[in-house]
Structure 1
Amino acid sequence: MALRLDVALKDMSLRAPAPLFERQPQPRGVFTSQRGFMLALGLVSVLVIAVLPFLDASLYTMSIATSALIYIMLCMGLNVVVGYAGLLDLGYIAFFAVGAYVSGIFTTVLGWPMWAALPATVLACIIAGVIIGAPTLRLRSDYLAIVTLGFGEIIRITANNLEITGGPSGIHGIPSWDFGGWSFNDGFNLFGIEFPERVVFYYFVAAVVIVVGVIGAGRLAKGKLGRAWKAVRDDEDAAEAMGINTYIAKISAYIIGAVWAGMAGQLMATHLSAISPNSFQFLYSALILMAVVLGGMGSTPGVIIGALFVSLAPELLRDFAEWRYLIFGVLLVVVMLFRPAGLWPATAVLPWLKRNRPTPPAFTDSISSVEASVMESVDGVPHADVHEGDRS
């Protein structure tokens, strides 16, 4: 009997096995899928950003909102380094300073327009990322954190002692963005609606943050490079054993994070029109890292929430005067106690989706399908004979 079965299987033509069950279509609704809900939430956030100037276009509101958007882009860059690649960087503010100072020097000393200084800013951040990252990324954990902290302080002290950076006084009179004969300082009139300079720059920053910061970082995380970063973050030795060049993966994350921070620094320099070494102290590196950890490392919506919390909470508590930083610290401790993985972790699943688990088909159906396919392959051998032969 076994011989007849072997002959029958030997003469069969090879073909891909047909699926035993039909795969259920993936839900795409707003409240029935994680992807649909996140897409709807992103569209609502973009709508809120677009409508905000029509609700309150005061100088204070636009200034705070613009600073919050710049914080979001800065945190998205650090999320690439810490959240995706798992590199603890305590001197990330150094790249923020490089972008701000390079754009300030090129626009005030050399007289370049701000848009022409952007490639120089990106190139300077790439060079800074290679100089700082090449010797330090061979270290791990606490050693890497201490070395990056030292480089952050080196950049600040260097800017404090160079004449071209203005020394302790910094650089003042940084111009706004201008294209041809039109500048952001001029604003514009559209359909009878006046858009002043602060509103135009707010929209410009929002567009840069949404397109470059949020969408760019999200697409990188889902690609081949992003998967390599996450493998290095989870277990560097295992990732290297699987053929991933861990050093290239880490330094690429470091350089991309540096470029993100440099562009945010250029936006901040234009927004404030003046920079000084006191604006790039270690406290700001700690706040940015706190925003990433607080929101959820590796989570795009979590990092956005963390950046908004860190940037807006002190302003919302301004009525409490000298108590506001104490309240801010207490809120941070409470959040970390009750949400240790972050406000929106990367592995978060919407609560109502946890209850809608798909029901798998019955196990007996799969067994009967397999038996039927085997019986069809054995020509002329009844079902009972096969079992009799197996028992014999």
Structure 2
Amino acid sequence: MSWAYITTVLIMTGINLLAVIGLSVLTGFTGLFSFGHAGFMAIGAYTSAILTVWLGVPYYLALLIAGLAAGLISLVIGRLTLKLKGDYFIIATLGFGESIRLLFNWFDPIGGSRGFRIPSEIHYTSLSDVIIINLIALILIANLINSRHGRNFKAIREEEMASQVIGINIFRYKMLSFFISAVLVGIAGGMLAHLTHFLIPRNFDMTKSTFLTIMVILGGLGSLSGSVIGTVVLTFIPEFLRNFNEWRYVIFGFLVVLVMVLRPKGLMGGYEISDLLRWVKRRLVRRRGEKNESA
């Protein structure tokens, strides 16, 4: 493997991670499953591409506007769908994602099904771009989750009725969660557009949404550390299995099923790496105390 190839895989991992962090806020911490977030990624991708190619907007500003565009659309979709329960909400998000894909597929000014090409002189997403943006996102989301708002998200996930009884505005917090997830996924779409420099609607289908959701679940619902681990594992494994051709998808699927059988709550099981480190520290202190007593 060449260094250029490894760098590209690392950048792709970072792009997936930003999208998974966003989806984790909605699914992992608020308990809402969405299979339409590829639609928000498409909105972010096409928005940033149009801004940089047609209007000459700087890369980072284009990413920010792309994220906000996805977020604004999420406010409209959320107002229409967030009062739906369970499977009905999932079906609604699935319909939204496919509608966005078909809309871009039919819209000729941005290439339609033929795709939209970004000229080579436009900024390419680099590894440093991905690292900077993901670090900012992780810090912001970690602080949010550990705040009062984050505790309200978790309360809604665990028991919606009880949360309403104690005065939590369920709809407002669901809207906030949906908005944050869409913004981050939209920014990830913008970074993807400037990595590939070519956009085609079929890359933002239900398979993409499902893949992002699997990353959240595999890592562990309600765990940012799990989101990181799940993303790294599920982005790198297919690349390592590339030499197996068609069989790589069979092997990949088997490995995912095996992990879910052995770890039904995901690799981190809702815990963070910091929780694991505290547990190890307590074990070491206890063992040291037992040795001192026996001596």
TM-score by length of 1: 0.68
- Contact kept, 8 Å, 1:156 with 1:280, in 2: the verdict is yes
The Cα offsets for residues 164-208 of structure 1, whole Å up to 9 and x where unpaired, read as 331001210256766xxxxx6xxxxxxxxxxxxx8xx11121111
Separation in 2 of the partners of 1:135 and 1:226?
A: 23
2:39 is the counterpart of 1:115 = no
Shift, 1:125, TM fit: 1.4
Q: Structure 1 129/331 Cα, relative in aligned 2: closer, same or farther at 3 Å?
A: same
Q: Which stretches of structure 1, 4 residues or longer, exceed 6 Å deviation after superposition? A: none
Amino acid at match of 2:204: F
Question: What is the deviation of 1:93?
Answer: 1.0
Aligned counterpart, 1:329: 253
The CA RMSD measured in Å over matched residues stands at 2.0
CA contact (8 A) 2:153 2:173 kept: yes
2:269 is paired with a residue of what secondary structure?
coil
Mapped to 1, the partners of 2:270 and 2:156 lie a distance apart of 16
Aligned counterpart, 1:152? 97
SS of residue in 2 equivalent to 1:243: coil
Q: Which residue of 1 aligns with 2:3?
A: 58
- Is the radius of gyration larger for structure 1 or structure 2? 1
Q: 1:142 aligns with which of 66, 87, 102?
A: 87
Residues 67 and 185, structure 2, Cα contact 8 Å, conserved in 1: no
Q: Assess, with a 3 A threshold, how the Cα gap between structure 1 residues 176 and 309 changes in structure 2: closer, same or farther.
A: farther
Q: How does 1:187-336 map to 2 (within 5 A)?
A: 201-212=126-137, 214-336=138-260
CA displacement at 1:78 relative to structure 2: 0.3
SS in 2 for 1:342: coil
Report the residue type matching 1:290 in the other structure: I
- Matching residue's letter, 2:6: T
Q: Is the 8 A contact 2:263 2:269 kept in 1?
A: no
Q: Counterparts of 1:241 and 1:176 in 2: how far apart (Å)?
A: 56
| Mapped contact 1:133–1:254 kept (Cα < 8 A) | yes
1:169 aligns to 2:93 (yes or no): no
**Matched position secondary structure for 1:111:** coil
* Deviation at residue 300 of structure 1 after TM alignment: 1.0
Q: For residues 307-363 of structure 1, what are the alpha-carbon distances to aligned partners after superposition, in whole Å with 9 as ceiling and x for unaligned?
A: 1111111001112222111100000110000000000122465363564688xxxxx
Matches within 5 A, 1:377-392: none
- The change in CA–CA distance for 1:347 and 1:59 in structure 2 (over 3 A counts) is closer
1:276-298, Cα deviation, whole Å (9 max, x unpaired): 10110101111110010000011
* Alignment of 1:352 onto 2:280: yes
3-state DSSP of counterpart to 1:164? helix
Higher relative contact order (CA 8 A, sep 6+): 2
Query: Whole-Å Cα distance in 2 between the matches of residues 304 and 115 of structure 1?
Result: 23
Q: CA deviation at 1:110?
A: 2.9
| Distance in 1 of aligned mates of 2:3 and 2:284 | 46
Question: 1:71, 1:123 → 2: CA distance?
Answer: 18
Contact 2:63 2:191 survives alignment (8 Å)? no
- The structure richer in helix per residue is 2
Aligned partner letter, 2:136: V
1:299–1:344 Cα contact (<8 Å) kept: yes
- 1:94 equivalent in structure 2: 39
Question: Does the Cα contact within 8 Å between 2:44 and 2:188 map onto a contact in 1?
Answer: yes
CA-to-aligned-CA distance 1:44-97 (integer Å, 9 cap, x gap): xxxxxxxxxxxx972111111100111111100000000111111111111111
User: Which ranges in structure 1 are unaligned for 5 or more consecutive residues?
Assistant: 1-55, 179-183, 185-197, 359-392
Distance 1:344 1:225 in 2: 22
C-alpha separation between the residues in 2 aligned to 1:357 and 1:243? 41
Contact kept, 8 Å, 1:108 with 1:175, in 2: the verdict is no
Instruction: Establish whether residue 131 from structure 1 lines up as the match of residue 131 from structure 2.
Output: no
Partners in 1 of 2:73 and 2:282 — Cα distance?
A: 45
Aligned-residue sequence identity (percent) comes to 35
Return the alpha-carbon distance in structure 2 between the equivalents of residues 219 and 57 of structure 1.
Answer: 38
SS at match of 1:229: helix
CA contact (8 A) 1:114 1:176 kept: no
Tell me, which stretches of 5 or more residues in structure 2 are unaligned? 287-295
Does structure 1 conserve the Cα–Cα contact (< 8 Å) formed by 2:115 and 2:200? yes
